[in-house]
Structure 1
């Protein structure tokens, strides 16, 4: 599929588009394999090999026709921090006033990231990021533009807001591990949280998320948030109800919502995934690899000691028998 100027042109191509939340997967790979896995020169390559194995497993099992590695060009966008200064602040290793803040990353993972990017490029998997935006926003934009069914591979619940049975968008949720992947569809979101996927961002705003530095509405838990959304439809309806004394609402809930009015005014923009980035043209189709690419990959495999992990990825991508 060629994604260009906000539209998807599929021609005669059929299949599925798979969008990888790449950081989510390479962190999982790093923590899932021992850092004693090393290249011939002694460099750690556990995240590299683990990510290759994850990609091989995903492509083999789900057979996407198109594949994109979505990247955090800025894992803590300035515009989100301007709205909520505490956004992901506990994960900052170093503040960079004139650039992107440095995320707290395991020391042995840092040198593996350039290797991951080099390998993805050599495999013909496009790496797509966007200035001052997260991978979530790239995923949201590509999923919204796609005219094929979409699989989003992530361990991040925030992306549940993109699930849409009608458009064929589902999440392959990795939080329980690659051996216990979970398909998240409309019914799964409703069953787990009592809200529709289209309400999930409002639900997350109210519930809050300590891992992202989002306080939520103090005293409003998941059950109360889901009940309010069922009753009033969305966050706007809840705020309006809290401000209208004639609307039946418990005094406790009313006071909590009103007390959090400043947070509720800005939090939706922080939590909602961007769906309209200008990403230019992206060729996401899985292409056969030519002799030059295969030769380059062979040299990379020897340099970094990738062995069977790269072989499995090449086989899954149709580059070898």
Structure 2
């Protein structure tokens, strides 16, 4: 069993970037896994198996599946129209594989029947939900460390060793997850959690439609941030003719002024999103055993559901 060790300090609060997990399950688990009627359930089963593994390894005190209520929020598009524009389908919605769409609804219903918490925020992405719930957990205190489970590097900005917030990065799969703390970030990116959003803005991210600053890659961005402190400091140096910033970098930064005005709105998570209050305590028993049994039979989820139930039972056992 893997999934990387959890953070020190007691039972963690696990915040799952749900879309990241079910997309990876959809693409990583064979579509030959089907319901009795032949409908693919690879994303459902992969997602549930990931939850079971995470609960078994980390024995969380609380778990919340963070949901995209809006995968491309209007406030981010207004700031930067290219944000995720390449993912927009012909109907204006997210270009999602047809075989995945119905599986997401099944995941929602199974989570509800199990009694596992799910939370979203109108007009916001799951990243904002995770950031908000992490901030609330830190403010509440006494609830153990926070571990955000994601395959999205954007959430590295939440890493804060002193606050007890880490990321479990599942870019290589849940079983090969990497525990991300500030030392991990400094080794790979040259910044800590607080600096990661500024790094991403300077470097750009084609997967999200962020062009970055021409000619400034990851190493140069990290060096600029190490020298000038943050994005505001880098921009101030570029605007100051007396600074010893190389002429080429100065020119590129000044030419990218409009982009750099907008990028922080897109890149930085919202830590005060309107997320309803959610406890996230692990259920002592399924919230709706009848519905769970019906869903299990209808979609052929027996093994996966049983693994989640067994993991939850073990997590409740001292």
The two structures have a TM-score, normalised by structure 2, of 0.92
2:290 counterpart residue number: 295
1:8 counterpart residue number: none
1:6 counterpart residue number: none
CA distance in 1, matches of 2:127, 2:280: 17
Deviation of the 1:95 alpha carbon: 4.9
SS in 1 for 2:110: helix
Deviation of the 1:293 alpha carbon: 2.3
1:165 counterpart residue number: 161
1:9 counterpart residue number: none
Contact 2:119 2:276 in 1 (8 A): no
Paired residues for 1:15-26 under 5 Å: 15-26=11-22
2:236 counterpart residue number: 240
- Counterpart among 223, 227, 233 of residue 227 in structure 1: 223
Aligned length: 302
2:197 counterpart residue number: 201
Paired residues for 1:120-135 under 5 Å: 120-135=111-126
The two structures have a TM-score, normalised by structure 1, of 0.91
SS in 1 for 2:166: strand
CA distance in 2, matches of 1:37, 1:87: 34
Contact 2:122 2:274 in 1 (8 A): no
SS in 2 for 1:93: coil
Gaps spanning 5+ residues in structure 2: where?
Answer: 1-9
Check if 1:30 corresponds to 2:30: no
Deviation of the 1:171 alpha carbon: 0.5
1:316 counterpart residue number: 311
1:105 counterpart residue number: 96
Question: After superposition, what is the alpha-carbon deviation per residue over 1:59-118, rounded to whole angstroms, capped at 9, x for unaligned?
Answer: 00111110000000000001100110010000111354xxxxx11111111111110100
CA distance in 2, matches of 1:183, 1:263: 32
Deviation of the 1:192 alpha carbon: 0.4
Contact 2:76 2:266 in 1 (8 A): yes
Deviation of the 1:309 alpha carbon: 0.9
Deviation of the 1:295 alpha carbon: 3.4
Paired residues for 1:11-160 under 5 Å: 15-96=11-92, 102-146=93-137, 147=141, 148=143, 149-160=145-156
SS in 2 for 1:111: helix
Check if 1:191 corresponds to 2:190: no
- Counterpart among 263, 266, 286 of residue 259 in structure 2: 263
Gaps spanning 5+ residues in structure 1: where?
Answer: 1-13, 97-101
1:3 counterpart residue number: none
CA distance in 2, matches of 1:317, 1:57: 10
CA distance in 1, matches of 2:90, 2:81: 15
Contact 2:148 2:167 in 1 (8 A): yes
CA distance in 2, matches of 1:187, 1:122: 39
Deviation of the 1:278 alpha carbon: 2.5
Deviation of the 1:32 alpha carbon: 1.2
Question: After superposition, what is the alpha-carbon deviation per residue over 1:256-303, rounded to whole angstroms, capped at 9, x for unaligned?
Answer: 10000010011111100000113232121112115x723331221111
Deviating 4+ runs (over 6 angstroms): none
Check if 1:177 corresponds to 2:173: yes
Question: After superposition, what is the alpha-carbon deviation per residue over 1:196-224, rounded to whole angstroms, capped at 9, x for unaligned?
Answer: 21011000000000000000000001111
Contact 2:168 2:180 in 1 (8 A): yes
